[in-house]
Chains A and B, each alone.
Chain A
């Protein structure tokens, strides 16, 4: 282990719930503001963003059907799409409200800080009112002294997507 990563891991031990909440609340605000390029900056270069299928919350991409399985490249593509006027489902953009609560930190392991939080994401557009409910499982790292998200897995509590229809927005 290099000196830098050692100190980064040590720094991670010092991270408390308030700092993690600041990061999560900041992410929520960026998403609600549709500040998607800035949102990408919260993630590492090797980041992943995954939403399993409603009926298979433990589903593994590569083996099972999942709703979203983005690496950094596809996260960038998703942002490019959502900023386009041709992403018809989200043009014009919805009003959203990302609400994050019940933030829990697990002990640092392998240089990562595991975090669990509940989410409620509201989406309002064109007479539709959609609500996504579930929990985030995230792994955070320190990168150049900044707390960054290496992975985010959004496990939906809804047993189907019937009420929301699609997941065109970022949860």
Chain B
């Protein structure tokens, strides 16, 4: 037994921050030990606010989507009578079968096929065959669908939390809210585009957290993508140098902001959009500057941001906008779900270029994401070699203000991760 066995079981001492020496380390057991994953499931995924879906996915009464949230099957439905967006545990209160068995649809009722118990979209049990067999009558209220303990929405983003005692969502989001606001305000009325990416990586989920908000790996890992956009006419110098920074937003949330050469579909024109789109995009930039002020408008239109909402929601507002969740199924395996957010009333050619930018960079069939998968799987394989116990995450620690290619936003995640996993955040 090494000293570390205790740490793995208790989840303590896995993050080592030494501000005096400007050194920040994470013990690699955090990525490899099944005991750590068990603590994460109990302390993180059963207690934190987790993203479920977007209200644009359930606009009509009876619209529903089936999801896995924190590793549990649930479904989100726009209830017909109340109009509320509800999130239910996807299990029949009778004997357990899942009651929502399609990924998406519109319905008046959910019927469990096993014994034909029927529920309305408010979750109420409305019928069962042979109810006279229950002595004293069946308690329909007690036997109705169970809502997830806490469900709240922030500007269209629906979150759920399995802990009834959790703080409210707005408090939880804290400083991350203003970055969500930038995304939503720039779009006006955002919607989730049809189609999603559901892939997986043979790597610890936290490696994808790091990667999603890491401005350092771009030039080396994504060389072929940069070469591709340059070959298509993108000016490599355009956009660089503006407001490059990385922030610890508190509560484990982190963000990087930076200029980048690629076009941004709201209003940073690039030759890939075509000349036709140029006047409209320039007009949008002016409109947003007028409505929200020069600096906030510019942040919306020209600044890229990779935002992590602790623990497992990534919203990257770059050459397209992805809404991505990550969920571990083992210490060395993560399931990734990714959707795409876009303005509902977007011009056709801009939308087409947005979709194109998404799939070439963010999509698993594109010119960049497969190489991220390779990097993360490579890290996980490297951990197995041993010899090196700690990963170094010290980049930029001495600076007054961290840059986007430093690791301050990644340290933000790890600080909260340590506190939550060891139980000191409560």
Write the residues of chain A forming the contact surface with B, with a CB cutoff of 8 angstroms: 51-56, 59, 61-69, 73-74, 77-78, 80-81, 84, 86-90, 126, 128, 160-168
Q: Are A161 and B199 in contact (CB under 8 A)?
A: yes
Q: Is the interface of A mostly helix, strand, loop or mixed?
A: loop
Q: Are B224 and A84 in contact (CB under 8 A)?
A: yes
Q: Are B196 and A166 in contact (CB under 8 A)?
A: no
The CA of A166 and the CA of B374, in the complex, are separated in Å by 10
The CA of A90 and the CA of B371, in the complex, are separated in Å by 8
Q: How far is the CB of A37 from chain B (nearest CB, A)?
A: 17
Determine the residue in chain B with the shortest Cβ distance to A82: B224
The CA of A78 and the CA of B359, in the complex, are separated in Å by 13
Q: Which chain B residues border A128 with CB–CB below 8 Å?
A: 202, 377
Determine the residue in chain A with the shortest Cβ distance to B196: A55
Contact-residue size bin, chain B (C-beta under 8 Å from the other chain): 35 or more
Q: How far is the CB of A168 from chain B (nearest CB, A)?
A: 4
The CA of A33 and the CA of B221, in the complex, are separated in Å by 25
The CA of A90 and the CA of B360, in the complex, are separated in Å by 16
Most buried by B among A65, A80, A128: A65
A-B contact pairs, 7 of them (CB 8 A): A62-B352, A65-B196, A65-B340, A66-B355, A69-B356, A77-B367, A86-B227
Assuming the contacts A68-B359, A77-B231, A161-B364, asked whether A86 and B224 have C-beta atoms less than 8 A apart, the reply is yes
Chain B stretch 192-234: residues in CB contact (< 8 A) with chain A: 193-202, 221, 223-224, 227-228, 231-232
B147 at the interface (CB under 8 A from A): no
Q: Are B195 and A52 in contact (CB under 8 A)?
A: yes
Q: How far is the CB of B107 from chain A (nearest CB, A)?
A: 18
Assuming the contacts A81-B228, A86-B224, A166-B373, asked whether A68 and B198 have C-beta atoms less than 8 A apart, the reply is no
B263 at the interface (CB under 8 A from A): no
Q: Which chain A residues border B196 with CB–CB below 8 Å?
A: 53, 55-56, 65
B103 at the interface (CB under 8 A from A): yes
Determine the residue in chain B with the shortest Cβ distance to A167: B365
The CA of A68 and the CA of B370, in the complex, are separated in Å by 13
The CA of A167 and the CA of B365, in the complex, are separated in Å by 4
Q: Are B193 and A65 in contact (CB under 8 A)?
A: yes
